[in-house]
Structure 1
Amino acid sequence: MANPLNRTLNGPPETPFWLRQLWGLRFIFRPLETLEARTQAYGDNYRITSRTSKSALVYFSSPEALEAIFTAKPEQLSAGQGNQILKFLLGEHGIVLLEGEAHQRQRQLLMPPFHGDRMRSYAQIILDICDREIGQIALGTTFAVRPVMQSISLQVILKAVFGVNSGQRYDRLQQALSQMVEGFGSPFGAMLLFYPFLQKDWGAWSPWGRFLRLRQQVDELLYAEIDQRRSQPDASRTDILALLMSACDPEGQPLSNVELRDELITLLFAGHETTASALSWALYWIAYLPDVRAKLLAELDTLKPSVELDPATIARLPYLSAVCQETLRLYPIAINAFPRVVKQSMVVAGYALEPGTVIMPSIYLAHHREETYPEPKQFRPERFLERQFSPYEYLPFGGGDRRCIGSAFALFEMKLVLFQLLSNRDLALVNARPIRPIRRGLTVAPSNQLRMQVTGIRCEKGAES
């Protein structure tokens, strides 16, 4: 039955400016607790600013509301306008900041490398990187999980996306990119994203000054790589940068150097920290829950006798896929989809919204609805084997025309890394206490307390099972 129009959005009462700032800090330092407290108090869909303000911020998480948002017409909602806080990081031409025809052009150019045979061609790169990392984790070794997963993820991006495989430029890019990402890897670092008054260059030792110098280093290295590719074209290259450089829009225009740089940085921030955090969470739950571990290893072991294993076969494993899906449900790496700004008066799930209203589709809250996911705090991969969820109930990569273009690649990488790691090493948690999620920039990740120990060698590279 259709909802009546002009339903009232509940939300916190009017508060002084200083109190709103304190609530903003709470969201930065304890984002999940803040979201849950608000939804318990005000429901699935709520506002957190004045009812009368045209710049009201409204959270939506019901499937009905999310469907309306993700299927809205371009003239109704602006997505690029809501992402302008990322301009200093991604540049003016990153796909998440673009609107209309410019956004569609970039999306069409970026989509092909992330699907089908193109994506599968990166499988060996992922497996080789994983093998090298696994080879350094000897029996009895204790290691912090997230840094290892970050190393794997960054190497995949450098080789499969940037196409930089070795040498001085590779080493410098790896170091500079790692340091630049890590600068936002804490709640304090995240404040640089949310509070523009902190974006002041007070020298190389200041947080913002350090970021600006690292960004300059990265830009110089990327432009040098692009210039070298232009002067020495190589048709045999299959990395994503090479494919983007050869692509043209319907008018025959290729991407400029600046557009290439902005898209590379966008892909870095969209695929590095996010994939590393998802892998870390998956390993935590697999080690924390013996039944999940036993079921997953039994499934992985069915493939072990094969020496030349088709990566697509790994990607199709049902329980492995369910583990990855449940990982991204329970702690979605991006807790919110990209915000939308209302351009024309519209109705979402019965709520009338005026132009200027900022819409925040909440992935985390959608994934924790009791009606959709019974016992939502429980890690239970079986729920994804028992039924399918609509894209408005399960949306770890966002939705609509802003859905992450690298989602298939991210899941593919996740499955290959988990398969390779768990097929070779038995892992146990060093501390069995629950791990608390922490903010890392715009994402949430396991805390640094997540450490594991190698308790057994299951299979060495090239060994027979």
Structure 2
Amino acid sequence: MTLPPKVKTPTWLLNQQIKHNPLAYLDSIYKRYGDIVTVMFGSTPFVYVSNPLGIKQIFSNTKEITDSSIFFRDPTLTIGQQGILEIEGLVHKHRRPLLMKTYHGERMNASGLKICEITKKIINQQTIGKTFTAYDIVVKIILQIAIEIVIGLREGERYKKIKHLFTSLMKYEESFLYDLLVKELSFARLDLGRWSPQGYRNNLYKKILQFLYDEVQERRKQIDSSHTDMLCDLILACDETGKALSNEEIGDLLFLPIFASRDGAAHSLIWCLYWVHRLRDVRDQLLDELDGLGENPDPMNIVALPYLSAVCNESLRILSSPMFMLPRLVESPVEIMNYELIPGTVLIGNIYSTHQREDLYPEPKQFKPERFLERKFSHYEFLPFGGGARNCIAAPFAIFQMKLVLATILSNYKLELVNKQPEGHKRFDDQCHPRSGVKMVFHGRR
């Protein structure tokens, strides 16, 4: 085996640098070692690739390189292990299209007006002249959209309950206490009951999954094939053997599409709001394009706007969410960028560093939407949602939603950034979100 250059930083120090200043550290790694590099975790080599050719080779060698679910299972949880990330092989291949149905084609298009209505309803609740944290508002919008599209719940007690449970879990996992104890201290990862840090988290997971299981059971009694939510699709679907999916299987499959609203969609949209309100020229050009559609434009005309698309793509590029593709495992000898890798090697596509390549994106630290109007990038050069069999199932919907929420806010309301200094970032898992949550002032309607 001939491994790519090895990072010489001790593992403990590398973990600290990645945690506290991930982007600067990734930039320094790329500058020193190049676009394929090895990090040793114990005796296991993790090879990070940010070269488009290398990423293409990872996607192409599907027999030698697999997307094993062993990387996605949470050992601290004993429930919810039949989700789309935990299953693999033929089961994964069969279940994936069942989930994707809701996020594509006519189903997605039909949700356009609903997305705009939810956005307006929540923004209208803001007080003129008052400062608010944009992250909190965007999470509300995205979570409500997700619950309606995935479960089909509208306003009411059950809607309020599931929203409260998901919000509680999101806030807890982003809290200082969870970050300090559970992520840093191994003994804190033990479930010692609901009053222990890990026990409290597990209890929230159990409540959410039990809610989903009960909702599936209740919906089976009154199933209506005309419904367009993911829950109904899964109840009516059959597994790879022709049998109906169990309540537990459906509940586990529903969890990630809702929870991911925080991870990908909200973080990406917050950064987009930040850049558009920080750069006046970008905002003015975007408003000119939006205003050209007239009052109450059709959502499908909005998402087709070229400059809006370029702004959203540039936001996803400059600070990709997530920073890395899901890990792949080398199962049999394979050559990647002239390096012979043996079974047991872990391969990870480095999305952030790929998006920062100067040969692809000149002046990569600058927010320049026009680059997406001047050139079309391949799936190996621009990959904000990963790629291959494990890419984000909701990627088309995430972009669709991002455009409509951003366009609705800009077209109808006047917002202003509170902090004139550049926004800092902090790491959450393999993503970076704004350190302050982006503080803004609401100045009313346009």
* TM-score normalised per structure 1: 0.90
* 1:346 is the counterpart of 2:334: yes
Residues 96 and 412 of structure 1: is their aligned pair in 2 closer, same or farther, counting only changes over 3 Å? same
* 1:106 is the counterpart of 2:92: no
Is the CA contact 2:77–2:202 (under 8 Å) kept in the aligned structure 1?
A: no
* 1:253 is the counterpart of 2:243: yes
Q: In structure 2, what is the Cα distance between the partners aligned to 1:354 and 1:299?
A: 52
The 5 A counterparts of 1:121-200 are 121-185=110-174, 189=178, 192=182, 197-200=187-190
SS in structure 1 of the partner of residue 378 of structure 2: coil
SS in structure 2 of the partner of residue 132 of structure 1: helix
Q: In structure 2, what is the Cα distance between the partners aligned to 1:109 and 1:194?
A: 37
Is the CA contact 2:356–2:365 (under 8 Å) kept in the aligned structure 1?
A: yes
User: What is residue 117 of structure 1 aligned with on the other side?
Assistant: 106
Q: In structure 1, what is the Cα distance between the partners aligned to 2:277 and 2:364?
A: 20
Q: CA deviation at 1:7?
A: 6.1
Q: Give the aligned length.
A: 445
Q: In structure 1, what is the Cα distance between the partners aligned to 2:400 and 2:79?
A: 25
Q: CA deviation at 1:343?
A: 0.7
Q: In structure 2, what is the Cα distance between the partners aligned to 1:365 and 1:67?
A: 15
Is the CA contact 1:284–1:450 (under 8 Å) kept in the aligned structure 2?
A: yes
Q: CA deviation at 1:74?
A: 3.9
User: What is residue 287 of structure 1 aligned with on the other side?
Assistant: 277
Q: Deviation per CA, 1:245-283: give whole Å up to 9, x if none.
A: 212246433322122111111112323332111111011
SS in structure 2 of the partner of residue 384 of structure 1: helix
* TM-score normalised per structure 2: 0.94
Unaligned runs of 5+ in 2: none
Is the CA contact 2:290–2:407 (under 8 Å) kept in the aligned structure 1?
A: yes
Q: CA deviation at 1:354?
A: 1.0
Is the CA contact 1:372–1:393 (under 8 Å) kept in the aligned structure 2?
A: yes
Q: In structure 2, what is the Cα distance between the partners aligned to 1:111 and 1:418?
A: 23
User: What is residue 345 of structure 2 aligned with on the other side?
Assistant: 357
* 1:201 is the counterpart of 2:196: no
Is the CA contact 1:427–1:455 (under 8 Å) kept in the aligned structure 2?
A: yes
SS in structure 1 of the partner of residue 432 of structure 2: strand
Matching residue within 206, 229, 232 for 1:239: 229
Matching residue within 420, 424, 440 for 2:408: 420
SS in structure 2 of the partner of residue 286 of structure 1: helix
Q: In structure 1, what is the Cα distance between the partners aligned to 2:355 and 2:76?
A: 29
SS in structure 2 of the partner of residue 434 of structure 1: coil
* 1:34 is the counterpart of 2:22: no
| CA RMSD, Structure 1 to Structure 2 (Å) | 2.2
Moved over 6 A (4+): none
Q: In structure 2, what is the Cα distance between the partners aligned to 1:457 and 1:201?
A: 49
User: What is residue 292 of structure 2 aligned with on the other side?
Assistant: 302
Is the CA contact 1:93–1:259 (under 8 Å) kept in the aligned structure 2?
A: yes
Matching residue within 301, 320, 323 for 2:308: 320
Is the CA contact 1:10–1:46 (under 8 Å) kept in the aligned structure 2?
A: yes
* 1:211 is the counterpart of 2:201: yes
Is the CA contact 2:133–2:440 (under 8 Å) kept in the aligned structure 1?
A: yes
Q: In structure 1, what is the Cα distance between the partners aligned to 2:170 and 2:119?
A: 21
Q: In structure 2, what is the Cα distance between the partners aligned to 1:71 and 1:188?
A: 42
Output the amino acid matched with 1:69.
I
SS in structure 2 of the partner of residue 439 of structure 1: strand
**Kindly, what percent of the aligned residue pairs are identical?**
38
Unaligned runs of 5+ in 1: 1-5, 459-465
